Each structure stands twice: as C-alpha cells, then as structure tokens.
C-alpha cells in the first residue's frame, strides 16, 4: 500500500505503507514481533554494514522490551543505549544537549544510526537529536505507544518544547524506516491506549470514512488489544497521514488538516502544565470544541456531528479539568500554526472531510470553550 492508498477491510492488510515526499521516501512496517527482528534488518535498512548503532529510549520501555530488542543484534553490533525520562517536562533542549554529549563521548559519527525506541516524546526528541547531531545522522523510529505509531513517528516532524509552547524548536527530518509493532501495545496502560486512539478517530473524521466506520463497529476488539484490529487501525491511520504528507510535506496547505483539534488541544495541555491530560486526551477535547464551531457555523449536520461526538466519547472517558477561557485563548494565540498574525483553524464539514479556515473569531472559540469546559468541569 502506498501513501495515496486506502486500507481495504475486506482484504488482507498490507503490512507496509510507503511514505513518499519531495525530500524522502521510506517504509512504515505495521505488524507483530518486529522489535525482536530489528537487528537483523538493520544492515538492509542503512546500507552501511559497519554503522555504530545508538538507541534513545525510556527506562520503562527498556525494562519491558530491552532484552527482546538486544537479542536481535549480534555481539559486534550491540547498540549503545541512551535514556530519556518520560514526561513532557523532559522534552527540552537541555536533554537534547545531554544526549548529544553522550553520543559524542561514545564515539558517534556521521555514519552512526540512531534508533528512537519509545513513545512520542522519545520519537520527537530522538528525531530532533538525529537532525542536528553532526548536522544530521540517519535514524529509525520504533514507536511504542499507539499515539506515536499512528501519528508522530510518521511525517518527519521532530522537535522539543519551550516554556511558551509545544514543539517550538524543531526540524523536518524523516526516518529511514518506521517499525510499528502492535505487540508492544499490550504493555500500554489502558489510558495510554485510549489516548492514542483519539488520533485515529481524528484520521477518520478528517479524511477516511472507512476508518471512522471501523472504529465505530469494532470498539471492543480494539480496546481489548486484538492484534488484527490494531493492525488495521494503525495501518489505516498511517496510510491517511502518508497520503497527506506526500502531497504537502512542509505544512503549507493540505497537511494543516492533521491539526484538527490541536490548536485548542495544545492550549489545554499548556495551561494545565502538561500534568492533567495526555496528548491524545487534550486533542479529543480540542476536537469536541472544533465540532462545536463547525456545527454553529452550519457547516456540519446534526446527525454527523452526533456520530463524531459519540465516537470520541466511545474511546473515553476523558479526564476533567478546570481552566480559564482567557488563559486558553492566550495560549492558542501563541500556537505555531499562526501565520502572519492569522489564526488558522481546522473544521469539519462531514465525516472524512476537513477544511482550514482563517476567520474563526474569539467569540466563536469562547462559545465552543464554554460548552467544552462546562463538560470538562463536571
């Protein structure tokens, strides 16, 4: 399946999706037991049999999957492991400098390969480290959360946070390959799994009606971590993103639709200090607010709005929180999706359809947030 394709649910799922952009082309492999095979595939991936291998991971992931990961390497190929503590508060430049220093001290050079083995924080930070170390070294993504598998590991966006906002320091740096192993999702806490599924819900809302229907019809098997169901969800979500990124690599047009729910979702994360909500949960609240704006503008039928809201809530529950609307509007105003002072906002006109608008007013956002925060505060 190539980036422009769709997942066919009445056929065998193809396990490899090809991302093709103007600057890079690479495969995303979706399947089972991929972690235990990575070492054997590394030579074919890099084309450099003598490359030193470095791994950025979290202590928790390494304790769960490190032995299986290392078992796929020969003794002379054994990777050097670097650790990044979990949590958004560690996705900062100070840790990038520390990791870069550790790479240098361990002898990493331009022929070295970095593997980002973890969730979105490890992937974003590790990818950015690879982008800037010695002006760029190759890297591979092995995402271990559903959120990272369906979203952040694909598309080449890397970066870290500033105190004033998420991902404000970063670079486009595509991986050589992505390995999405659904087996590792079995060790995810249920809340983390659900948070990742909100990104797949987003994919269905903005561009893939068949994925939307699959999420509606197979909720129980998906939440039970059925491998076949998860492969279908991950494959479809990646295929949608690969298609969009292939058309618009640098977010100058179509790729903006991937930010559905993100403008206010990122603001909610920031205002709550990244402590109350997981990223996917914040995006879910942001999507509910965006649906409110879409409906109030008459762009979206009540029937389809209801289906979308139902699907978002079906993969909840969403944790509550209390913040001031003024603080959210202020945080949203610093969002990096603004261009020349213009607020860009993604709305939906129906299941599988999204539009980018530039005329959403503070009054509209206030109305949407009053409704959303009223529910969040219960």
**349-371 residue pLDDT tens:** 999 999 999 999 999 999 999 99
For 16-187, CATH gives: 3.40.50.1970
**Tell me, what's the pLDDT at 3?**
43
Give pLDDT tens digits for 164-186: 878 899 999 999 999 999 999 99
pLDDT, the chain, mean:
91
**Tell me, what's the pLDDT at 6?**
40
- Segments of 21-164 assigned E as strands: 25-31, 53-57, 80-83, 113-118, 139-143, 157-162
User: What proportion of the chain, given as a percentage, has pLDDT over 70?
Assistant: 93
- The CA distance from 54 to 137, in Å, is 11
CA of residue 248 relative to chain centroid, distance: 17
What is the pLDDT confidence band of residue 144, given thresholds at 50, 70 and 90? Answer: very high
Q: At 44, phi and psi to the nearest 5?
A: -70, -35
Give me the active site residues, please.
135, 157, 199, 241, 251, 255, 259, 262, 266, 279
Give pLDDT tens digits for 269-326: 989 988 899 999 999 999 999 999 999 999 999 999 999 999 999 999 999 999 999 9
**Tell me, what's the pLDDT at 338?**
54
User: What proportion of the chain, given as a percentage, has pLDDT over 90?
Assistant: 80
Of 4-13, 130-139, 314-323, where does mean pLDDT reach its minimum? 4-13
pTM above 0.75, yes or no: yes
**Tell me, what's the pLDDT at 161?**
92
The stretches of 148-301 forming alpha helices (DSSP H) are 190-206, 209-217, 219-223, 227-247, 262-271, 279-296
Whether residue 49 is predicted with pLDDT greater than 90 in this model: the reply is: no
- CATH 1.20.1090.10 positions along the chain are 191-376
Give pLDDT tens digits for 275-290: 899 999 999 999 999 9
- The CA distance from 281 to 376, in Å, is 11
What is the pLDDT confidence band of residue 74, given thresholds at 50, 70 and 90? Answer: confident
Q: How many CA atoms lie within 13 A of 315 on its CB side?
A: 31
Q: At 140, phi and psi to the nearest 5?
A: -125, 140
- The CA distance from 16 to 29, in Å, is 5
Whether residue 211 is predicted with pLDDT greater than 50 in this model: the reply is: yes
- Name the nearest CA neighbour of 82 among 64, 106, 65: 106
- CATH 3.40.50.1970 positions along the chain are 16-187
Neighbour count for residue 334 (Cβ, 10 Å): 15
What is the pLDDT confidence band of residue 201, given thresholds at 50, 70 and 90? Answer: very high
Please give the biggest Cα pair distance in the chain: 63
**Tell me, what's the pLDDT at 342?**
66
- The CA distance from 223 to 194, in Å, is 8
For 191-376, CATH gives: 1.20.1090.10
Does 145 sit behind a cis peptide bond, omega within 30 degrees of 0 on the bond before it? no
């Amino acid at each position: 399946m190539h980036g422009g394709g769709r997942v066919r649910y009445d056929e065998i799922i193809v396990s490899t999706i090809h991302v093709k952009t103007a600057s890079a082309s690479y495969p995303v492999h979706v399947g089972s037991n991929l972690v235990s095979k990575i070492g054997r595939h590394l030579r074919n991936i890099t084309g450099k049999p003598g490359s030193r291998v470095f791994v950025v991971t979290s202590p928790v992931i390494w304790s769960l999957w490190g032995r299986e990961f290392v078992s796929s390497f020969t003794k002379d190929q054994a990777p050097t492991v670097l650790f990044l503590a979990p949590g958004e508060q560690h996705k900062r430049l100070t840790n990038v400098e520390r990791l870069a220093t550790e790479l240098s001290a361990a002898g990493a050079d331009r022929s070295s390969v970095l593997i980002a083995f973890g969730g979105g924080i490890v992937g974003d930070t590790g990818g950015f480290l690879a982008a800037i170390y010695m002006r760029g070294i190759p890297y591979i993504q092995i995402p271990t959360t559903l959120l990272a598998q369906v979203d952040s590991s694909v598309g080449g966006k890397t970066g870290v946070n500033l105190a004033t906002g998420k991902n404000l320091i970063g670079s486009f740096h595509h991986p050589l390959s992505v390995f999405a192993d659904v087996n590792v999702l079995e060790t995810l806490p249920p809340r983390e799994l659900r948070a990742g599924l909100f990104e797949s819900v987003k994919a269905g809302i903005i561009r893939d009606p068949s994925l939307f229907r699959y999420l509606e019809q197979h909720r129980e098997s998906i939440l039970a971590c059925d491998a076949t169901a998860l492969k279908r969800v991950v494959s479809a979500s990646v295929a949608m993103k690969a298609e969009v990124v292939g058309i618009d690599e640098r977010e100058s047009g179509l790729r903006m639709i991937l930010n559905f729910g993100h403008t206010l979702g990122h603001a909610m994360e920031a205002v709550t200090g990244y402590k109350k909500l997981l990223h996917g949960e914040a995006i879910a609240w942001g999507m509910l607010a965006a649906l409110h704006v879409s409906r109030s503008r008459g762009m979206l039928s009540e029937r389809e709005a209801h289906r979308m809201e139902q699907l978002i809530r079906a993969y909840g529950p969403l944790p509550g929180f209390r913040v001031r609307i003024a603080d959210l509007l202020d945080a949203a105003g610093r969002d990096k999706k603004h261009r020349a002072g213009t607020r860009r906002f993604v709305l939906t006109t129906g299941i599988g359809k999204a539009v980018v608008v530039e005329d959403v007013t503070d009054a509209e956002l206030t109305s949407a947030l009053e409704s959303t925060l009223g529910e969040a505060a219960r």
